Amino acid sequence: MPAEAGAAGAPATTRFRPPPWLATAALLLPSYAWLTLAVLLPLGTMFAFSFLEATPLGNRPVEWTLRHYRAFHDQPYLLGVAWTSLSIGLWTTAICAVVGFATALALVRATAGRSRETLLILLLLPFWTNGLVRVFSWTMVIRGGGFLDVAARSVWPDAPSLGFLYTQPAIVLGLVHGYLPYMVLTCYIALLAIDDAVIEAAMSLGARWPTILFRILVPLAMPGLVTGAILIFVPVIGAFMEPRILGGRVGVTMGTVIEDQFTQAFNWPLGSALAFTMLAVVLGVFATFSGVLRRTAQA
């Protein structure tokens, strides 16, 4: 009896439970620490470089200036380069949207099971090959006297040359090849989430296929289209490998100009300022499309 009373009178031992915010912080700490070291710290360094008068090499004194952010005013040719980059980005994104949505729709509606998985893996093959290999392989296809010309002249011996290497369409072709899987994946996920009952109900009410496509499938898959457009447009306007290899002299874009400032001219402050100017454009694109996504979700 006393033992029972002592046990009953003893204070209950409670296991310590950390507050929810502490557990969340412990889980997020590794990822945010890596994000800080791998992304924020280099970006902060480049942002500081963008305000320097010159690259801090050797015994050169450190001087601060804002003149690099006036590059578009002081060097008007950069406006044309920026417009070229934006037009290439828009064309690439538009072509990827049309082809990617059609491909994803075919995968969702016309295939099933293992055949769908196999075709999806084949679409992701460009991600498994080196980017330089992909780009240089296109030079062998679209150059004058290349594979495209040989194939055309095997059917029509007097056919004119179909090569279009070192043109803007060649740049767009290489970029579409590299970034199309982004659009296919995002549209595929969005279309896969659409209930078949919605399409069956529309068909039972007499809706034709064009009506189903533009009034049901495209609006419901709009989040996937917008996400894919962001994933493509953002890196494309800063791409430099495809414009340099496939564009030649006409492949002068903001990506190639920024790369030249870092690797050829060693003008890191100007390159950093141009890069952060493009980053501001990218953030503007994000802000615009986030509004579109918000309105689509509310609708």
pLDDT of residue 245: 94
Q: Which tops the pLDDT comparison, 285 or 263? A: 263
pTM above 0.95, yes or no: no
3-class secondary structure, 102: helix
pLDDT tens-digit readout, 3-34: 555 455 555 556 767 788 887 888 888 888 99
pLDDT tens for each residue of 79-102 = 999 999 999 999 999 999 999 999
Kindly tell me if the per-residue pLDDT of 296 is higher than 80: no
> What CATH code is assigned to 78-298?
1.10.3720.10
The residues near 232 (Cβ < 8 Å, ≥ 6 apart) are 89, 92, 93, 96, 179, 182, 183
Average pLDDT over residues 196-219: 90
pLDDT value at position 164?
A: 92
pLDDT per residue as tens digits for the range 224-247: 998 899 899 989 998 999 999 999
Question: What is the residue extent of each domain of the chain?
Answer: 78-298
Note the pLDDT tens digit of each residue in 154-167: 998 888 888 999 99
Q: What is the pLDDT of residue 28?
A: 86
